[in-house]
Amino acid sequence: MIGMLEVIDGGIGNGIQDAGRFGFRHMGITVSGWLDPLLARCANALVGNGPDCACIEIRGAGPTLGVRHGRVRVAVAGDMTLTVHRANGQSFPLPAWESLVLDPQDALETGFLAGGTAYLAVGGGVATPLQLGSRSTYQRARIGGVNGHLLASGDVLPCGALGRNERREYQAPPWQHVQGAVRVMLGPQDGHFKPESLQLLLSSEYQVTPQMDRMGMRLDGPALAHIRPEAADIVSDGVTPGVIQVPGNGLPIILLADCQTVGGYPKIATVISADLPRLAQLKPGQTVRFCAVSAVEARAARAESEERWCAWVQQLTYGLHNASSVGDDVDAFWNAAG
Amino acid sequence: MNANRGECASRACLLPVGDTAWTVEFGDTIDPAIHAQVLGLAGSIERQRRDAGAMDVLGAIVDVVPTFRSLTVYFDPLRCNSQRLGESLLQLASTAESIATVGRRWRIPVCFDEEYAPDLNDLAQCKGLSREAVIALMTETEFQVYLIGFMPGFPYMGGLPAALHMPRLSSPRKAVPERSLAVANDMCAVYPWESPGGWRLLGRTPVPMFSAADTSSPSLLASGDRVFWQAIDAGTFREMEALARAGKLDRDSLLLHEGAAS
């Protein structure tokens, strides 16, 4: 069954993302994809999706969506609340971490985003066309999303629809990222910095500046001196989300999901994959600290992160939101959701 | 402090890029011999990935990016032991042969008329050359594509004659027109889209550098390709541009076949 959502108001900075676009970096095409994959997977689980379904990444003023066709299950993972406007004129708040089935002509208004990033998942996943193997929006090259752009009013988003009697809803406790210093592996160009600079990076507090987007975040704090002024420039080589590049002014820039594929500034360290999602929750003015780990520790941290997520999924429960309107045939539920 | 520093074999060093990529570095300069080693390793990784099964450690690789002087290999850390993958890469790097010319040869039309070449007069004047001499140097030279990066389809090319070397503009343009042919220092490139940029603009090609609709090869050029520029007049430029817009420009017609005169 096909559901259809219409974007009534695109908000600001919101786009369709999935796990990313791999296999094209040698053509200069960045991976894109979720800034916070763990939270996106939570949102998908809350509507009964597999973990890799495309959903809406909310980075600023959230969107307002209307259901044009089908009964569509929605849920938000992240620090924000929603308002549901039923077709009959009734309005009520919907907390994050709870799903709700919307009927045709219902609308969903997203509220204030307290965290850095939230995800709005819809049952069946957002089914905009795959481009180069992914639905992720990459604005710079106008690839993915809806015609390569962020959500805008009038966009139509196909998704899955539920059977007529389906009223079951999911809920789960909010996902908590691990706390503490963000873990990095030194390199690939730590040798381009004075030893004191490495110490500074690992012992100082850095502040997130307003210069941040899906491409990267600039930090403010103690400047990191290169070993020589010329060492601030390298012949461009490969970069990846999480690398901390340091231009001549000594102030670090962490590259994120939409970063360029190669760069000409030396990279003092790289945020490990287990901690990369945490950066998506930082907002300008907040501070961050770094600590260095080995490759073996990075690997263990990533395995632990996956285990924590599996443990979170175990806490997912589903029940009847409106007990009078539905039977309790579990097979029928899965058939409807699938 | 240096717990994460990579190992070096005879020709290459292995540098960690976090827990999801290795950079195999052959040198720190722009040099055709170094680039040939990069392409050689890329080729042997590709062969081994094709021949070996998914169980092979190389099966965890998700992206391979050749640059001027290094190869960055991206992998899924949940699907392999990164240390073992690194060792395999270093092993391949020590046995792979250099490949100087893996790519295709292209003849790509460029209009050097003033409206498309805002920096051509300036550059000619600074270098004590006539416009015609600059155009002759540009069209007689074989450019080598070192890497595609910065933005999708953006080719970094080497081979620019020394007589044309100039630094970037001191103040970058807010908007470089799409498909502008540009030079900076010893490099040459084409901007696939309108974007900010500080390179000097010497002409414009009607040929799109990138087309997402071409799913097998969205980028026209690839690392290792060689390119000749062919001067065309403004009328031809507009005709070809219209053809390209209509999706009727045949990319293959721009290929030069071995032995063909340049």
Of A24, A195, A235, the CB nearest to B30: A235
Of A22, A26, A272, the CB nearest to B148: A26
User: What's the pLDDT score for residue A328?
Assistant: 42
- In-domain check, residue B3: no
A31: chain B residues, CB-CB within 8 Å = 63
Same domain for B215 and B130 = yes
Same domain for B126 and B45 = no
- Asked if A254 has any chain B CB less than 8 Å from its own CB, the reply is no
Of A143, A191, A272, the CB nearest to B212: A143
From CA A309, how far away is CA B19, in angstroms rounded? Answer: 19
Same domain for A25 and A146 = yes
B63: chain A residues, CB-CB within 8 Å = 22-26, 31
User: Which segments of A39-146 are extended strands (E)?
Assistant: 55-58, 64-69, 72-77, 80-85, 91-94, 100-102, 107-113, 118-122
Same domain for A152 and A215 = no
B21: chain A residues, CB-CB within 8 Å = 238, 240
CATH number at A222 reads 2.40.100.10
A272: chain B residues, CB-CB within 8 Å = 18-19
- The rounded mean pLDDT for chain A is 92
- In-domain check, residue A133: yes
Question: Packing angle between helix B82-95 and helix A295-314, nearest 10 degrees?
Answer: 140
Determine, for residues B149 and A262 on separate chains, whether the beta-carbon distance falls below 8 Å. yes
From CA A152, how far away is CA A7, in angstroms rounded? Answer: 7
- In-domain check, residue A253: yes
Determine, for residues B1 and A185 on separate chains, whether the beta-carbon distance falls below 8 Å. no
Determine, for residues B19 and A131 on separate chains, whether the beta-carbon distance falls below 8 Å. no
B2: chain A residues, CB-CB within 8 Å = 186, 190
Mean pLDDT of A6-10: 97
User: What's the pLDDT score for residue A337?
Assistant: 41
Statement: residue A129 has pLDDT above 90: yes
Note whether A124 and A131 are within 8 A (CB). no
Statement: residue B1 has pLDDT above 50: no
Same domain for A50 and A19 = yes
Q: What is the tally of helices (H) and strands (E) in chain B?
A: 5, 14
More confident residue, A168 or B100: A168
- The rounded mean pLDDT for chain B is 90
> Nearest CA to CA, how far is B254 from chain A (Å)?
19
Residue-wise pLDDT for A9-54, tens only, equals 999 999 999 999 999 999 999 999 999 999 999 999 999 999 999 9
Place of tokens 């420009």: B249
Determine, for residues A141 and B212 on separate chains, whether the beta-carbon distance falls below 8 Å. yes
Determine, for residues B210 and A141 on separate chains, whether the beta-carbon distance falls below 8 Å. yes
Mean pLDDT of A92-119: 95
User: What's the pLDDT score for residue A334?
Assistant: 40
- In-domain check, residue A186: yes
pTM of the predicted protein model: 0.90
Domain count, chain A: 2
- Asked if B8 has any chain A CB less than 8 Å from its own CB, the reply is no
Which stretch of A197-206, B209-218, B239-248 has the lowest confidence by average pLDDT?
B209-218
Same domain for B137 and B47 = no
Note whether A218 and A211 are within 8 A (CB). yes
Mean pLDDT of A291-297: 97
- Provide the percentage of residues in chain B whose pLDDT is more than 70: 93
> Nearest CA to CA, how far is B43 from chain A (Å)?
13
Which stretch of A45-59, A308-322, B16-30, B218-232 has the lowest confidence by average pLDDT?
A308-322
From CA A252, how far away is CA A261, in angstroms rounded? Answer: 18
Read off the amino acid at residue B31.
Answer: D
Statement: residue A323 has pLDDT above 80: no
Residue B31's pLDDT band, with cuts at 50, 70 and 90, is: confident
Statement: residue A65 has pLDDT above 50: yes
Query: A residues 7-26 near B, CB within 8 Å?
Result: 22-26
Closest of B119, B131, B115, B17 to residue B74, by C-alpha = B17
Which stretch of A237-246, A320-329, B48-57, B132-141 has the lowest confidence by average pLDDT?
A320-329
Determine, for residues B62 and A240 on separate chains, whether the beta-carbon distance falls below 8 Å. no
Note whether B38 and B66 are within 8 A (CB). yes
- In-domain check, residue A23: yes
> Nearest CA to CA, how far is B64 from chain A (Å)?
6
User: What's the pLDDT score for residue A62?
Assistant: 94
Same domain for A329 and A255 = no
From CA A237, how far away is CA B23, in angstroms rounded? Answer: 8
User: What's the pLDDT score for residue B101?
Assistant: 66
User: What's the pLDDT score for residue B3?
Assistant: 36
Determine, for residues B212 and A295 on separate chains, whether the beta-carbon distance falls below 8 Å. no
- In-domain check, residue B8: no
Last residue of a domain, one of B73, B95, B117: B95
User: What's the pLDDT score for residue A336?
Assistant: 42
Mutation site, B2, B7, B63, interface A, largest A CB count within 10 A: B63
Same domain for B242 and B151 = yes
Same domain for B221 and B120 = yes
The CA-CA-CA angle for residues A330, A334, A337, to 5°, reads: 135
Note whether A98 and A164 are within 8 A (CB). no
Statement: residue A269 has pLDDT above 90: yes
Determine, for residues A28 and B78 on separate chains, whether the beta-carbon distance falls below 8 Å. no
User: What's the pLDDT score for residue B54?
Assistant: 59
Domain count, chain B: 2
Determine, for residues A273 and B18 on separate chains, whether the beta-carbon distance falls below 8 Å. yes
Cβ neighbours for B185, distance < 8 A, ≥ 6 positions apart: B160, B165, B166, B167, B168
Same domain for B209 and B126 = yes
Same domain for B238 and B151 = yes
Same domain for B214 and B121 = yes
- In-domain check, residue B7: no
User: What's the pLDDT score for residue A12?
Assistant: 93
Same domain for A123 and A67 = yes
User: What's the pLDDT score for residue B6?
Assistant: 62
Determine, for residues B16 and A28 on separate chains, whether the beta-carbon distance falls below 8 Å. no
Same domain for B139 and B51 = no
> Nearest CA to CA, how far is A326 from chain B (Å)?
41
Note whether B244 and B236 are within 8 A (CB). no
User: What's the pLDDT score for residue B55?
Assistant: 67
From CA A208, how far away is CA B222, in angstroms rounded? Answer: 37
From CA A119, how far away is CA A220, in angstroms rounded? Answer: 28
Statement: residue B132 has pLDDT above 50: yes
Closest of A113, A121, A119, A138 to residue A60, by C-alpha = A113
Same domain for A328 and A287 = no
Statement: residue B125 has pLDDT above 90: yes
Of A22, A184, A271, the CB nearest to B62: A22
Same domain for A87 and A112 = yes
User: What's the pLDDT score for residue A321?
Assistant: 58
From CA A130, how far away is CA A53, in angstroms rounded? Answer: 12
In order, the DSSP letters of A179-220 are: -SSEEEEE-SSGGGB-HHHHHHHHHS-EEEEEEE-SSEEEEE
End-to-end C-alpha distance for chain B, whole angstroms: 53
From CA A263, how far away is CA A233, in angstroms rounded? Answer: 10
Statement: residue A317 has pLDDT above 60: yes
Q: How far is CA B240 from CA B206, B214, B217, B244, in A?
A: 6, 18, 21, 6
A193: chain B residues, CB-CB within 8 Å = none
Read off the amino acid at residue B105.
Answer: R
CATH number at B144 reads 2.40.100.10
Mean pLDDT of B213-238: 93
- In-domain check, residue A313: no
Tokens of A145: 């999303």
Please give the interface size between A and B, counted as residue pairs whose CB atoms are below 8 Å apart.
171
Statement: residue A333 has pLDDT above 60: no
- Asked if B28 has any chain A CB less than 8 Å from its own CB, the reply is yes
- Asked if A130 has any chain B CB less than 8 Å from its own CB, the reply is no
Same domain for A208 and A300 = yes
Q: Which domain holds residue B25?
A: 13-95
Same domain for B125 and B78 = no
Q: Which domain holds residue A167?
A: 2-173+318-337
Same domain for A221 and A100 = no
Residue B259's pLDDT band, with cuts at 50, 70 and 90, is: low
Mean pLDDT of B12-28: 96
Residue-wise pLDDT for B99-123, tens only, equals 876 689 999 999 999 999 999 999 9
Residue B190, Cβ neighbours under 10 Å: how many?
27
Pick left, alpha or beta for residue A142 (phi over 0 → left; psi -120 to 50 → alpha; otherwise beta): left
